């Protein structure tokens, strides 16, 4: 049985972009990242109580996990929580691919346990959920969650874990002002009703909701996110302008407003931080409370964009 409850900070730090090579324009995000910046991000976040770090082996095929381990070397293992993922599509050919994948993650992360281990997507719910049980029993995995699963898939995973005395403790899905399918499908209500933590990813739509990118200042040429977002940036202008105005009234940025919205909706955002200043934004977001009227206005502006940001790896939630 899992006996210690999953306790997490109000915001988690995402490190997908840390799996890029760090060269401008290269990779999924195409941001320029330096080891010095990543160390400073870790230092700032940890001293501010933001101690939950999300990664996955597939983020740069181990590069994100290794960069995270290097950034956290000056801290004791008990001071932070690690969240990483098993991605079915890269399962090896051994007898127990998920156990092998976990060992690889532990090596990359320089640890002997992970706090939160995810099945990255519902490719074969019955097979991969069952394989989590020995990992929980071994103590190498403290808590488990499912990502990109719909309500039926969450229920199936929960039944499998329940037979061994465990449960789905967390759900991690795409959830932003522009993409609210988990809310529409009742997944967020289900999590709230059952004491399951809902982690929202891509709350900033990979930078498209930060106000930094627009038709005159597109995402880095050659990156995957540029291909996904640059064409729709003009449609987002009215929304990001309103986020900018709401932020200005609070000494906050549009990104802070997006984060504050996700918190107000009862979720735990996982924010992909790439600069030390982003951590300051997360702290501001904690104090930037939105009224019900402002939330409704932002959602209505988001709907009016007509933009669908479902990732190529996601299936419809309803
Ligand atoms: N389970 C899944 O399938 C899944 C899928 C996607 C993501 N995730 C997780 O969720 C995390 C978050 O998603 P994401 O990283 O893809 O996208 P995101 O959080 O929506 O956006 C991250 C980007 O926004 C910019 N940014 C971050 N904080 C900012 C701030 N305070 N002000 C201005 N700009 C800011 C950075 O872009 P610049 O570098 O250009 O400044 C950064 O690369 C990932 O890192 C990963 O851990 C999980």
Q: What is the pLDDT of residues 36-58, one digit of tens each?
A: 999 999 999 999 999 999 999 99
Pocket test for ligand 1, best of 27, 82, 197, 271 (most atoms within 8 A of CB): 271
Residue 126 scores a pLDDT above 90? yes
Tell me, rounded to whole angstroms, the distance of Cα 85 from its chain centroid.
Answer: 11
Q: Which CATH number fits domain 12-23+32-205+266-288: 3.40.1170.10, 3.20.20.100, 3.40.50.1470, 3.90.226.10?
A: 3.20.20.100
- Is there a contact between 170 and 196 (Cβ–Cβ < 8 Å)? yes
Confidence label for 32 from pLDDT (cuts 50, 70 and 90):
confident
CA 173 to ligand 1: nearest atom: 1
The full set of domain ranges for the chain reads 12-23+32-205+266-288
* pTM confidence score: 0.97
Question: Residue written as tokens 């281990």?
Answer: 117
Question: How far apart are the C-alpha atoms of 293 and 87, rounded to whole Å?
Answer: 39
- Choice between 44 and 318, residue whose per-residue pLDDT is larger: 44
Question: How far apart are the C-alpha atoms of 199 and 276, rounded to whole Å?
Answer: 22
Reduced to 3 DSSP states, what percent helix, strand and coil does the chain have, rounded to the nearest 5?
A: 45, 15, 40
Count Cβ atoms within 10 A of the Cβ of residue 206 and give its class: 0-12 exposed, 13-18 middle, 19 or more buried.
buried
Q: What percent of the chain has pLDDT over 70?
A: 98
How many angstroms does the Cα of residue 130 sit away from the middle of ligand 1? 30
pLDDT in tens, 213-248: 999 999 999 999 999 999 999 999 999 999 999 999
| Binding pocket residue ranges, ligand 1, CB within 6 Å | 14-17, 29, 31, 54, 120, 147-148, 172, 201-207, 210, 212, 253, 255, 270-274, 278, 281
Pocket test for ligand 1, best of 23, 177, 204, 256 (most atoms within 8 A of CB): 204
For the chain, give the longest Cα–Cα distance: 57
Residue 27 scores a pLDDT above 90? no
Confidence label for 76 from pLDDT (cuts 50, 70 and 90):
very high
Q: What percent of the chain has pLDDT over 90?
A: 92
């Amino acid at each position: 049985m899992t006996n210690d409850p999953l306790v997490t900070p109000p915001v988690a730090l995402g490190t997908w972009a840390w799996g890029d090579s760090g060269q401008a324009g290269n990779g999924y995000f195409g941001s320029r990242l330096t080891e010095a910046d990543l160390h400073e991000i870790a230092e700032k976040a940890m001293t501010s109580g933001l101690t939950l770090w999300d990664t996955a082996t597939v983020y740069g095929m181990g590069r994100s996990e290794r960069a995270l381990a290097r950034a956290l070397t000056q801290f004791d293992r008990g001071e932070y929580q690690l969240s990483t993922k098993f991605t079915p599509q890269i399962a090896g050919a051994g007898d127990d691919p998920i156990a092998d994948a976990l060992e690889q993650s532990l090596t990359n992360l320089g640890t002997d346990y992970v706090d939160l281990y995810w099945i990255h997507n519902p490719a074969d719910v019955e097979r991969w959920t069952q394989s989590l049980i020995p990992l929980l029993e071994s103590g190498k995995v403290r808590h488990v969650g499912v990502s990109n699963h719909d309500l039926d898939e969450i229920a199936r995973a929960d039944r499998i874990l329940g037979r061994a005395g465990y449960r789905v403790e967390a759900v991690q899905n795409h959830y932003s002002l522009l993409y609210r399918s988990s809310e529409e499908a009742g997944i967020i209500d289900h999590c709230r009703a059952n004491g399951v933590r809902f982690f929202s990813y891509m709350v900033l739509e990979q930078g498209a909701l930060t106000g930094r990118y627009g038709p005159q200042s597109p995402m880095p040429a050659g990156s995957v996110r540029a291909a996904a977002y640059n064409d729709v940036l003009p449609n987002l202008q009215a929304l990001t302008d309103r986020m900018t105005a709401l932020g200005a009234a609070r000494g906050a940025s549009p990104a802070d407003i997006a984060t504050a919205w996700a918190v107000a909706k009862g979720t735990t955002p996982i924010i992909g931080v790439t600069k030390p200043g982003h951590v300051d934004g997360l702290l501001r977001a904690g104090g930037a409370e939105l009224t019900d009227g402002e939330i409704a206005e932002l959602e209505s502006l988001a709907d009016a964009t007509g933009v669908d940001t479902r990732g190529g790896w996601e299936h419809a939630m309803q």
